[in-house]
Amino acid sequence: MKTYRTHLLVCAGTGCVSCGSFALKDALVDEIARRGLQDEVLVVTTGCNGFCERGPILMVHPDGIFYQRLAPADVPLLVEEHLIKGRPVRKLMYVPPEGDRPVPKMADIEFFKHQRLIVLRNRGRIDPEKIEEYIAYDGYEAAAKALERMTPEEIVAEVGAAGLRGRGGAGFPTGRKWDLCRREPAVPKYLICNGDEGDPGAFMDRSVLEADPHAVLEGMIIGAKAIGAARGFIYIRDEYPLAVSRIGIALEQAREMGLLGKDILGTGFDFDLEIVRGAGAFVSGEETALIASIEGQRAYPRQRPPYPAQHGLRGQPTVINNVETWANVASIIRRGSAWFSSLGTETSKGTKIFSLVGKINNTGLVEVPMGIRLRDIIFAIGGGIPKGREFKAVQIGGPSGGCIPKELLDLPVDYESLTQAGAMMGSGGMIVMDEDTCMVDIALYFLRFTQEESCGKCAPCRVGTRQMAEILARITAGEGSLDDVRKLEELAVTVKRGSLCGLGQTAPNPVLSTLRYFRDEYLAHIVDHVCPARVCKNLTTYYIEPDKCVGCLLCLKSCPANAISGERKKVHVIDQAACIKCGACFDVCPAKIQAVTKYTGERGRALRGGAAVPKDA
Amino acid sequence: MQDKKQAGAVRRGATTSAVKTTGRSPERAFVRDVVRKYGRRRRAVIQVLQDIQGRLRWLAPETLEAVARELKMPLAHVYSVATFYKSFSLKPRGRHTCTVCMGTACHVRGGAAVLEHFERKLGLRAGQTSLDGEITLERVNCLGACALAPLAVVDGRYYGQMNESKADTVLQPILHAGSPAPVPEDGPGDEEAS
């Protein structure tokens, strides 16, 4: 095998690709060839690094230098300075939000420093389309160990002892699930990987499938041996075409290498996998619904028990685990349950990947040990809230989860404490919100989501979520009553109790948790007709401060409703009757002027004067 | 009567190129090929419909009938699946697709305003296709690229940190290449939704 003195690892995750990482890669390859370095320097495209905010990202191996937000125009300088003269280019490095000096090494950047990588251990260092690179980092060693030297009982015991729990949301102990299925006498048995990552705001499964597909395959091979399955399915969301293609390539390469198919590694064990693409239904992330979907039916959940481990795909015993869960398995087998269970808390072992998004400086994917405090994730790793705004809440667990306020920032992140706080681990989406986020609006957002995604099987979920969404819409329009709050709480109980699957059972959580921690915001909307965050359109008025406006015409030109009048160097005025409150003027008004202001409550109504109050569309 | 017929003909002709592809025989042969690729297994009906839609852009009534025949399953079942899953379209879709992400991360960073801007700019509501069959506007619950929020996808290319002026730049080429007739605000391209 040819060796190179330097590897340039270009991130080719979805985030970086959309910022032009392929153009960057081409520019690097050309420049390296032009300088005659093609035998010394290799350009590799890797899976997602997680620090998507800073794309396109380039890591220089083995120096460990981290370059960010690169453009093809930066390439000649970078090659000349770093690769030829050996002087890393400081101006292309990451500068932390609060600091002024660049941090050259990836390992020293706060975003990466506090992470603990198990599932994402290969991120940003291997080309996910080359099985050899996965193998070079101990890949398939665990599968070989499981197939050659371990009995199914030993594998199940090891996974059980590690304390691994399902990473898809509910946190059922994986070892126990496998054991149930292993003990079932019926054959054939099936394995399923649940890659129907539907929670809005969560993208760790996508990233794992794209960045390290073989980790999932290896976990499934081990699982197959443990329960005695000969066939498995990887169910991937239709919205993730790159993940489908990477898994497809991985399957082919694994078959060529004899790691899938008949007589794997000469051990006499047969197992093969098939990709099934989802078709855009949130409920199909529920395990029984997902099984119905693989069978070519509508994705309707069914009553449990019997659990899929006993009665799953085609009525046969089936183990169904989430992508992240599968991707943990190989490391547990390779390094042992004691090592794995040394990480985390009493009840939640190992690490968890969170997608840190929303109003946060360092957006991206982070893998941290269970039990870490929310504060450390949001402020140490995430770098806090942009533009000096105040942290307000973090929404965890998607539509099944809840909002956690700043008083609970010291909460350790594990399955139990999140549930107690009214949220849920879910798949691990963390949406950070600042003072400009309206909590009633967020509750409405999630209820509209679950209402739309309810499959309609259970009336409490189908009708109840709609009613709740309507009440919330009324409140955000400033037309709610105090009785509405009582109704919301009543409906929440009905929907929770009367629904068959997790979608309905958890759908009221966003409302309940916001009512629990932000009741005053609900009351502000209802009693004072005020939206404290100035988000709800009906309660917000846009106004141009005459003493600040310099008459630059920017807002006037951006207004889609032609509601702004004025001339160059003369104060502009918003025609309140014509204003559709899209916020375009607010966004374009230069930061140093800030003449466009949002008002709510008395002042807002006064500014609007006699103009009719436009309804939300 | 005559006029009406003529108008109908013009309209159909203009709707979308999918009319061409639903021409009987080549389409049925294509359906047969796809069904064969999945070993005629009925449980593969979702995959079959996906592959077909991938090429024809939407699922016409005749297409669904052909699938039912080839898979030897009740037409009602094919419809039950095709209407349940969001990724299937039973209405013609445009040559260009604009998708605006409405995930939570996009929502808190102003995704709703982005969608509204797309709607105004294209004269379409989410879920509609322009009358000339050029552009379809869609909303999606989450594309899993939350770091780029707010996000829009135009013809498969992801555009992050979307705002109004960026949207105008991104839409420029497809608005001009296709030059769709400006459509009235009240419900264009939605005749089949009724």
What digits encode the pLDDT tens for the residues A292-325?
999 999 999 999 999 999 999 999 999 999 999 9
User: Alpha-carbon distance A491 to A44, whole Å?
Assistant: 54
Decide if B102 is inside a domain.
Answer: yes
Q: How big is chain B by its Cα radius of gyration, in Å?
A: 18
Cross-chain Cβ contact B141/A200 below 8 Å = yes
End of a domain among B84, B118, B135?
A: B84
Chain B residues within 8 A (CB-CB) of chain A? 41-47, 49-50, 80-81, 84-88, 102-105, 107-110, 113, 116-117, 120, 140-149, 157-160, 163-165
**Cα dihedral sign, A522-A523-A524-A528:** positive
The CA distance from B6 to the nearest CA of chain A, in Å, is 36
Cross-chain Cβ contact B85/A445 below 8 Å = no
Same domain membership, residue B65 and residue B100: no
pLDDT in tens, A79-95: 999 999 999 999 999 99
Roughly what angle, to the nearest 10 degrees, separates helices A152-162 and A213-227? Answer: 120
User: Alpha-carbon distance A34 to A37, whole Å?
Assistant: 8
Query: Token pair of B85, please?
Result: 């899953």
Same domain membership, residue B58 and residue B24: yes
Query: Token pair of A135, please?
Result: 């193998």
User: Alpha-carbon distance A284 to A249, whole Å?
Assistant: 25
Letter for the amino acid at A172? Answer: F
For residue A510, say if its preceding peptide bond is cis, omega within 30 degrees of 0. no
- Is residue B19's pLDDT more than 60? no
Cross-chain Cβ contact A197/B149 below 8 Å = no
- Find chain B residues with C-beta within 8 A of A15's C-beta: 145, 147-148, 160
Question: How far lies A282's CA from each of A195, A303, A403, A452, in Å?
Answer: 12, 18, 21, 9
> Please, is A62 exposed, middle or buried when counting C-beta atoms within 10 Å of its C-beta (0-12, 13-18, 19+)?
exposed
3-state secondary structure of A100: coil
User: Alpha-carbon distance A221 to A247, whole Å?
Assistant: 14
- In contact, A162 and A175? CB cutoff 8 Å: yes
3-state secondary structure of B144: coil
Same domain membership, residue B69 and residue B32: yes
Pick from B40, B116, B141, B159 the residue to mutate for testing the A interface (most A CBs within 10 Å).
B141
Cα B82 → chain centroid:
13
- Is residue B183's pLDDT more than 70? no
- Is residue B21's pLDDT more than 90? no
pLDDT in tens, A20-76: 899 999 999 999 999 999 999 999 999 889 998 888 999 999 889 999 999 999 999
Same domain membership, residue B125 and residue B72: no
Decide if B158 is inside a domain.
Answer: yes
Confidence band of B2 (pLDDT split at 50, 70, 90): very low
- Find chain B residues with C-beta within 8 A of A442's C-beta: 104, 107-108
Query: Token pair of A385, please?
Result: 């809230």
Confidence band of A1 (pLDDT split at 50, 70, 90): low
The CA distance from B7 to the nearest CA of chain A, in Å, is 32
Instruction: Give pLDDT, residue A124.
Output: 87
Cα maximum dimension of chain B: 56
Pick from B104, B107, B115 the residue to mutate for testing the A interface (most A CBs within 10 Å).
B104
Instruction: Give pLDDT, residue B24.
Output: 56
Cα A400 → chain centroid:
14
Strands A269-277 and A231-236, by their bridges, are: parallel
Confidence band of B156 (pLDDT split at 50, 70, 90): confident
Task: Over range A102-116, report the average pLDDT.
Answer: 93
Nearest CA in chain A to B157: A18
Strands A58-61 and A65-67, by their bridges, are: antiparallel
Q: What is the DSSP letter of A491?
A: H
- Find chain A residues with C-beta within 8 A of B42's C-beta: 296
- In contact, A132 and A253? CB cutoff 8 Å: no
The H or E element containing residue A46 is strand A41-46
**Sole residue written with tokens 């264009």:** B188
Query: Token pair of A255, please?
Result: 């078959």
Cross-chain Cβ contact A14/B104 below 8 Å = no
Cα A260 → chain centroid:
30
Buried b (16+ CB within 10 A) or exposed e, B10-32: eeeeebbebeebbeeeebbebbe
Letter for the amino acid at A211? Answer: A
- Find chain B residues with C-beta within 8 A of A598's C-beta: none
Decide if B105 is inside a domain.
Answer: yes
End of a domain among B54, B84, B114?
A: B84
Nearest to A277 among B50, B102, B149 (CB): B50
Task: Over range A502-523, report the average pLDDT.
Answer: 96
Task: Over range B174-188, report the average pLDDT.
Answer: 52
Letter for the amino acid at A135? Answer: I
Same domain membership, residue B77 and residue B109: no
User: Alpha-carbon distance A428 to A355, whole Å?
Assistant: 6
Nearest to A298 among B50, B80, B158 (CB): B80
User: Alpha-carbon distance A356 to A429, whole Å?
Assistant: 7
Q: What is the DSSP letter of A82?
A: I
Closest CA to A333 of A136, A159, A139, A167: A159
- Find chain B residues with C-beta within 8 A of A276's C-beta: 46-47
- Is residue A406's pLDDT more than 70? yes
Instruction: Give pLDDT, residue A6.
Output: 94
Decide if B11 is inside a domain.
Answer: no
List, in order of start, the domains of chain A with CATH numbers: 6-109 (3.40.30.10), 131-341 (3.40.50.11540), 351-434 (3.10.20.600), 439-528 (1.20.1440.230), 540-608 (3.30.70.20)
Nearest to A18 among B107, B117, B160 (CB): B160
Instruction: Give pLDDT, residue A614.
Output: 46
Cross-chain Cβ contact B144/A202 below 8 Å = yes
Decide if B9 is inside a domain.
Answer: no
- Find chain A residues with C-beta within 8 A of B117's C-beta: 560, 582, 584
Pick from B52, B142, B155 the residue to mutate for testing the A interface (most A CBs within 10 Å).
B142
Q: In this structure, what are the phi and psi dihedrals at residue A207, rounded to the nearest 5 degrees?
A: -65, -40
Measure CA of the first residue to CA of the last residue in chain B; give whole Å.
Answer: 23
Instruction: Give pLDDT, residue A235.
Output: 98
Calculate ∠ Cα A494-A499-A502, nearest 5°: 120
CATH code: domain of residue B164: 3.40.30.10
Same domain membership, residue B123 and residue B54: no
Same domain membership, residue B129 and residue B78: no
Helices in A212-263 by DSSP H: which ranges?
Answer: 213-227, 241-256
Residues 6+ apart with CB under 8 A from A18: A55, B145, B148, B157, B158, B159, B160
Question: How far lies A180's CA from each of A186, A285, B35, in Å?
Answer: 12, 21, 36
Nearest to B46 among A203, A293, A582 (CB): A293
Same domain membership, residue B46 and residue B70: yes
- Is residue A576's pLDDT more than 50? yes
Pick from B84, B165, B166 the residue to mutate for testing the A interface (most A CBs within 10 Å).
B84
| Other beta carbons less than 10 A from residue A281's beta carbon | 24
Cross-chain Cβ contact B145/A280 below 8 Å = no
- Is residue A574's pLDDT more than 90? yes
Cross-chain Cβ contact B87/A240 below 8 Å = no
Same domain membership, residue B56 and residue B122: no
**Cα dihedral sign, A413-A414-A420-A424:** positive
Same domain membership, residue B170 and residue B105: yes
Cross-chain Cβ contact A363/B50 below 8 Å = no
- In contact, A596 and A563? CB cutoff 8 Å: no
pTM: 0.90
- Is residue B163's pLDDT more than 50? yes
- Find chain B residues with C-beta within 8 A of A202's C-beta: 142, 144, 146
Cross-chain Cβ contact A239/B110 below 8 Å = no
Instruction: Give pLDDT, residue A613.
Output: 45
Looking at the DSSP bridge assignments, the partners of residue A45 are A10
In chain B, how many domains are there?
A: 2
- A248-257: list long-range contacts, CB under 8 Å, 24+ apart: A248/A275, A249/A129, A249/A213, A250/A128, A250/A129, A250/A131, A250/A213, A250/A214, A250/A217, A251/A217, A251/A275, A253/A130, A253/A131, A254/A131, A254/A214, A254/A217, A257/A131
Residues 6+ apart with CB under 8 A from A254: A131, A214, A217, A260
> Please, is A96 exposed, middle or buried when counting C-beta atoms within 10 Å of its C-beta (0-12, 13-18, 19+)?
middle
Closest CA to A508 of A393, A428, A400: A400
The CA distance from B113 to the nearest CA of chain A, in Å, is 6
Polymer length of chain A:
617
Cross-chain Cβ contact B148/A18 below 8 Å = yes
Nearest to B144 among A206, A282, A294 (CB): A206
Nearest CA in chain A to B116: A582
CATH code: domain of residue B65: 1.10.10
- Find chain A residues with C-beta within 8 A of B86's C-beta: 279-281
Instruction: Give pLDDT, residue A72.
Output: 95
Measure CA of the first residue to CA of the last residue in chain A; give whole Å.
Answer: 63
Q: What is the mean pLDDT of chain A?
A: 94
Strands A540-544 and A564-565, by their bridges, are: unpaired
Letter for the amino acid at A338? Answer: A
Task: Over range A215-221, report the average pLDDT.
Answer: 98
Pick from A203, A205, A282, A365 the residue to mutate for testing the B interface (most B CBs within 10 Å).
A203
Nearest CA in chain A to B41: A296
- In contact, A324 and A205? CB cutoff 8 Å: yes
Looking at the DSSP bridge assignments, the partners of residue A354 are A366
Confidence band of B27 (pLDDT split at 50, 70, 90): confident
**Domain assignment of residue B106, given as a range:** 96-178
Same domain membership, residue B131 and residue B111: yes
Decide if B90 is inside a domain.
Answer: no
Same domain membership, residue B162 and residue B115: yes
The CA distance from B105 to the nearest CA of chain A, in Å, is 5
- Find chain A residues with C-beta within 8 A of B145's C-beta: 14-15, 18, 52, 203
- In contact, A137 and A121? CB cutoff 8 Å: yes
Decide if B149 is inside a domain.
Answer: yes
User: Alpha-carbon distance A82 to A409, whole Å?
Assistant: 42
Closest CA to A88 of A63, A62, A108, A54: A63
Helices then strands, counting H and E runs in chain A, come out as: 25, 18
Cross-chain Cβ contact A15/B147 below 8 Å = yes
Decide if B191 is inside a domain.
Answer: no
User: Alpha-carbon distance A119 to A428, whole Å?
Assistant: 14
Nearest to A431 among B41, B104, B163 (CB): B104
Letter for the amino acid at B41? Answer: R
Strands A351-358 and A364-369, by their bridges, are: antiparallel
Q: What is the DSSP letter of B2?
A: H
- In contact, A55 and A21? CB cutoff 8 Å: yes
3-state secondary structure of A157: helix
Nearest CA in chain B to A443: B104
Cross-chain Cβ contact A279/B46 below 8 Å = yes
Cross-chain Cβ contact A398/B50 below 8 Å = no
Residue contacts between A and B (CB atoms, under 8 Å):
143
User: Alpha-carbon distance A456 to A446, whole Å?
Assistant: 17
